[in-house]
A and B are shown apart, each in its own frame.
Chain A
Amino acid sequence: MDTSLSLFGDYQVIHNYLPILVFIIFAFAFAIGTLIFSYLVRPNKPDPEKLSPYECGIPPMMDARERFSIRFFIIAMLFLLFDVEVVFLYPWAVVYNKIGLYGFVEMMLFIAILLVGYIYAWRKGALEWE
């Protein structure tokens, strides 16, 4: 009895997500179908000038995939740190009206700990962009 109930529950959850799956298939079909259609009707006359990457009219100097600024990497690391924090906040926000003061204080402690990391990153200059 118990298992059948939980199975029914699972079926309900999957049933809700089914339209999304169909939508994803439709969106892919639209994108790929449009590309194929345009492939069939468009002209195709390549020449070396046309195929070279744009560089304001001069011949391309070297490969474009060079080293890039470390700042972008630091931003990516900060993103990992704080986005995980956001993910923790979502379930907390949803049940906030049930957990009351205790939950509030706990989350403020959690944010305070992350705030220490934020202040550290700020003092270290990770948020500067020269």
Chain B
Amino acid sequence: MVLVKIIIILGVILLVVAYLTYLERKVIAHLQVRIGPMRVGWHGLLQPIADGLKLLVKEDIIPEKADKWVFILSPIICLVPAFVVYAVIPFSQHFYLANINIGILYIISISALGVYGIVLAGWSSNSKYALLGGFRSAAQMISYEIFLGFSIIGPLMLAGSLNTLKIVEAQSGVWFIIYQPLAFALYLIAGIAETNRIPFDLPEAETELVAGFHTEYSGMKFAFFFLAEYANMMVVSSMAVILFLGGWKGPFLPGIVWFAIKVGAFLFLFIWLRGTLPRYRYDQLMRIGWKIMFPLCLLNIALTGIIYYLFL
């Protein structure tokens, strides 16, 4: 039973990530009045499969001065945590892999491991662009991880549990986004920065850093970084749905459909932002994080504490 569930979850992640890249290309194309991929299959529907096959059979280059084993290991270090996080995400009331009482803590800690892969990739490539991209990425991700951690304290205080199932059950009446609008906004900004997406995609700012930490990567190893980034986008979206939007709860339709709709809305938001916003400068990124978001996070915790004590 566990093995079947694992294979289903892994398969669904791979399929959704593949079609997320297709969706991203299509949506951005239409936002920019283009048509996007059209050649492979009906309206380009087989494009992700063609891309995957192409990456699988592409030559894999390891630069001569690179640290060979670290170079090979870092995409794996990046990818495995991005998959393993899904173990505690409840896709519906009955479909989840593990029901542990520290679910949210598990998600935060495991997804934080991905930053090792990025730093080691930048370091081992022995390329200046990759090294700079790796450092930037590390500084950005560890900074915004703090704000991500602070912003979800509010919903956790209301739920009184770290168990993902109990948090969703606690939202049977009112979704936490109603009680915690500030926390939701802070979480969303931190989540976008944490996944290195526009407007916070400094680690791979094409105009200055070529491709950031994965400049030297090609073939399947490059695909691993890509997979990890998109899987992490889905994790951030799923966590937002669990913590703020009532998880699988909703009328008429079965839980898993509601969960998919809510996560899909977040993924569309990610793509929409990419098609709309310019990129921040690095000093702006750090200022927003440390000087604006951090005080607001603490304010949210204090306010939640006071209001909870007075009214609930």
Contacts and interface: CB of A to CB of B under 8 A. Distances in A.
Interface string A72-104: 100110110011001001100111111011001
Contacts, number: 195
B150 A115 contact: no
Interface in A3-34: 16-20, 22-24, 26-28, 30-32, 34
B296 interface: no
Nearest to B125: A53
Nearest to A96: B157
A38 B60 contact: yes
Given A19-B5, A19-B98, A127-B286, A27 B84 contact: yes
A59 interface: no
A64 B97 contact: no
A76 B140 CA distance: 10
A53 B216 contact: yes
Interface of B is mostly: helix
Interface of A is mostly: helix
B220 A93 contact: no
B56 A41 contact: yes
B56 A79 contact: no
Interface residues of A, number: 67
Given A79-B143, A86-B149, A90-B153, A54 B60 contact: no
Interface string B78-100: 01100110111000000001111
A46 B160 contact: no
A107 B157 CA distance: 13
Given A17-B100, A20-B87, A95-B160, A75 B142 contact: yes
Contacts of B131: 64-65, 68
Contact of A20 (B62, B97, B282, B290): B97
Contact of B146 (A26, A52, A79, A97): A79
A123 interface: no
Given A101-B309, A129-B286, A90 B162 contact: yes
7 contacts: A24-B80, A96-B308, A97-B312, A98-B160, A100-B309, A104-B306, A115-B298
- Give the top 5 A-B pairs by smallest Cβ distance, nearest first: A86-B149, A53-B127, A129-B283, A38-B220, A93-B156
Given A72-B138, A130-B283, 14 more contacts: A19-B87, A19-B98, A22-B6, A42-B56, A42-B220, A64-B131, A65-B131, A68-B135, A75-B142, A83-B145, A93-B156, A96-B157, A108-B302, A118-B294
